[in-house]
């Protein structure tokens, strides 16, 4: 079989990992330091997958790195990547409405993720056909997806299954509300989150756990509105200079 180039692989295999190899080492405010790609992978495993780190010199980590390097073939180091990160939403300028979010979930999300959000398992073997959004097999409360603006951006531009980022179905407001509803439900708890973001002024305004540099309540950090928080953080940042 001829070797498959990244350019020639199936479109479903192309994604935000293309070019990631050349983006590291990279500073991340959550850790407050410059980190490696290996550390970023392990961070995703610990938080988004609620799993365990892999040994940095292990076979599995080497396989991850080799695959990601292959995905980045032909992309210059440090290049601005199309599709990297998550597209944002236009914020409604209010607190998220969990009741409206529950209705959006029932109408749009439950057909794949289940009415309880626990996902749909594969018929044979282990794993899921559609992943759980809540419960013990979900991402934990230290994952980036627990940030309502991050989750809303992902949901609007990737969900429901089958849409693309430039053909969204949900409105900004619906994505905002359903992301908040989803993240209001029970999920695994990650210890020592107070150690995240050593510089609290670099903490995203929608981080759902403290401590914070400002005095706004955790509820507002979880569900908005966020403009007041942003203004206060900018004020504190300017005062520190």
Q: Mind listing the pLDDT tens digit for each residue in 110-167?
A: 999 999 999 999 999 889 999 999 999 999 999 999 999 999 999 999 999 999 888 9
pTM score > 0.85 for this model? yes
Confidence check: pLDDT of 93 > 50: yes
Q: Mind listing the pLDDT tens digit for each residue in 155-190?
A: 999 999 999 888 999 999 999 999 999 999 999 999
Say if residues 210 and 220 touch (Cβ distance below 8 Å): no
> What is the pLDDT at residue 60?
97
* Distance in angstroms (rounded) separating the CA atoms of residues 41 and 31: 14
> What is the pLDDT at residue 16?
52
Confidence check: pLDDT of 109 > 80: yes
> What is the pLDDT at residue 111?
96
| Partners of 26 in beta bridges | 35
> What is the pLDDT at residue 187?
97
């Amino acid at each position: 079989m001829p070797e498959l180039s990244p350019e020639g692989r199936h479109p479903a295999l192309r994604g935000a990992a293309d070019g990631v190899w050349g983006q590291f080492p990279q500073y991340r405010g959550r850790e407050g330091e410059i980190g490696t790609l290996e550390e970023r992978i392990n961070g995703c495993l610990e938080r988004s997958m609620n799993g365990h780190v892999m040994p940095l010199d292990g076979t599995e980590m080497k396989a991850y790195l080799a695959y990601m390097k292959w995905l980045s073939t032909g992309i210059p180091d440090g290049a601005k990547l199309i599709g990297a990160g998550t597209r944002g939403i236009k914020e409604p300028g209010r607190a998220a409405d969990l009741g409206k979010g529950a209705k959006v979930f029932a109408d749009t999300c439950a057909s794949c993720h289940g009415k309880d959000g626990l996902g749909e398992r594969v018929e044979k073997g282990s794993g899921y056909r559609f992943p759980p959004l809540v419960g013990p097999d979900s991402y934990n409360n230290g994952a980036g997806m627990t940030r309502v603006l991050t989750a809303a951006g992902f949901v609007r531009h990737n969900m429901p299954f089958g849409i693309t980022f430039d053909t969204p179905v949900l409105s900004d407001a619906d994505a905002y509300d359903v992301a908040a509803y989803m993240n209001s439900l029970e999920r695994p708890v990650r210890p020592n989150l107070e150690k995240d973001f050593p510089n609290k002024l670099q903490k995203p305004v929608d981080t759902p756990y403290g401590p914070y540099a400002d005095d706004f309540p955790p509820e507002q950090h979880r569900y908005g509105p966020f403009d007041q928080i942003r203004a206060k953080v900018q004020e504190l940042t300017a005062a520190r200079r």
